[in-house]
A = this chain, B = another copy of it.
């Protein structure tokens, strides 16, 4: 199965926030929504149910911690969590803060309009604020 290597598209579309015990935590480069992506550092896995139970427990713990911190940080109305992977097959989990009136609310974020990259200073301040809420 080989070593884990981050998918090139995921790498291109995101900024590293930090490495958790099991996942790379990344910020999707789209300023329309506060949108984090966890990429489990497990090689060759495409489907959530192909993880072992032990892997699922550890990774889900990180997902729940990230979701809770993102809700605290943003004060958002609703957290959306999903693993879809129709385009990028390497397993990754989306955690997104949603609010009434945001782009495409209450519809989904995926496939909606064009990505709006952050200004570099806004990337840094988002990551700093998230880490303060996460730790």
Residues of A within 8 A of B (CB): 46-49, 51, 53, 56-57, 60-61, 63-65, 67-68, 71, 78-87, 89, 98, 104-108, 110-111
Is A82 a contact of B79 with CB atoms below 8 Å? no
Is A80 a contact of B86 with CB atoms below 8 Å? yes
Distance between A77 CB and nearest chain B CB, rounded to angstroms:
8
A51 — nearest CB in chain B belongs to which residue? Answer: B64
Protomer copies: 2
Q: In whole angstroms, what is the CA distance A108 to B80 when docked? A: 13
Our pick among B53, B63, B81 for the contact of A61 (Cβ within 8 Å) is B53
A contacts with B: majority SS: mixed
Q: In whole angstroms, what is the CA distance A68 to B81 when docked? A: 19
Q: In whole angstroms, what is the CA distance A104 to B107 when docked? A: 14
Is A110 a contact of B107 with CB atoms below 8 Å? yes
Question: Can you add 17 more A-B contacts, CB < 8 Å, to A82-B82, A84-B108?
Answer: A46-B78, A47-B67, A47-B68, A47-B78, A57-B57, A57-B60, A60-B60, A78-B86, A78-B89, A81-B82, A81-B84, A86-B98, A86-B106, A87-B106, A104-B111, A107-B110, A108-B110
